[in-house]
């Protein structure tokens, strides 16, 4: 089922998410949420989707760049490169707004797959960027928190909403 995307100023987007236990991950409801997120992401023209964006405060995201979609549970970035790359990002939860964001060029991340198997992955380029963006979502951070360089015009009202929303929920 395609789920509705939560957009700002929804408070859920600014909250720290709860890790999933292996028992919670195995539940039918969680597996259905994963299936729904895997369906919602491409239908919404996204390459990553975090559970808070579909109204669930758990550490779950799905990612699809140029490979088979990844189900990412309880992700933690274990190592980052010192070198950074600037590139444009957008977000399904902030439609129509884009900005240049610095991200680590390479990362090492650990997570559980949908079956609860621990995965360690080295990522670079777009995949590293998407992991960092989606993990930010799980920590209540939005890409607008990481830039003042917007490539699309934003109004002063939008800018105030981003800042007020961040400060209110920090």
For range 14-18, the mean pLDDT = 97
User: Tens of pLDDT along 129-153?
Assistant: 999 999 999 999 999 999 878 888 7
The pLDDT score that the predictor gives to residue 66 is: 80
How many domains does the structure of the chain reveal? 1
Lowest mean pLDDT: which of 17-26, 39-48, 140-149? 140-149
Average pLDDT over residues 6-18: 95
Q: Is the pLDDT of residue 162 over 90?
A: no
* The model's pTM: 0.93
Residue 44 half-sphere exposure, CB side, CA atoms within 13 Å? 30
Annotated binding-site positions for Fe cation: 91, 133, 137
CA neighbor of 76 nearest in space, from 134, 22, 23, 31: 134
CATH number of the CATH domain containing 55: 3.90.45.10
Q: Which structural domain range is residue 89 located in?
A: 11-169
- Does residue 157 lie in a domain region? yes
Is 2 contained in some domain? no
Tokens for 67? 């490979």
Centre a 10 Å sphere on the Cβ of residue 167 and count the other Cβ atoms it contains.
9
Query: Which residues are known to be catalytic?
Result: 134
Query: Is residue 65 in a domain?
Result: yes
Annotated binding site: 91, 133, 137
Q: Is the pLDDT reported for residue 169 higher than 80?
A: no
At residue 170, the pLDDT reads: 47
């Amino acid at each position: 089922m395609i789920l509705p995307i939560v957009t700002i100023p929804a408070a859920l987007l600014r909250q720290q998410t709860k890790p999933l236990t292996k028992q919670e991950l195995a539940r039918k409801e969680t597996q259905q949420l994963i299936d729904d997120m895997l369906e919602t992401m491409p239908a919404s023209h996204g390459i990553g989707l975090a559970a808070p964006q579909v109204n669930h405060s758990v550490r779950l995201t799905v990612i699809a760049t140029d490979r088979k979609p990844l189900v990412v549970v309880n992700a933690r970035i274990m190592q980052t490169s010192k070198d950074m790359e600037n590139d444009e990002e957008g977000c399904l939860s902030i439609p129509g707004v884009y900005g240049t964001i610095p991200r680590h060029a390479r990362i090492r991340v650990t997570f559980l797959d949908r079956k609860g198997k621990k995965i360690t992955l080295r990522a670079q380029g777009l995949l590293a960027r998407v992991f960092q963006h989606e993990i930010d979502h799980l920590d209540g951070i939005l890409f607008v928190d990481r830039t003042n360089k917007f490539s699309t015009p934003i109004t002063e009202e939008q800018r105030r909403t981003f800042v007020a929303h961040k400060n209110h929920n920090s």
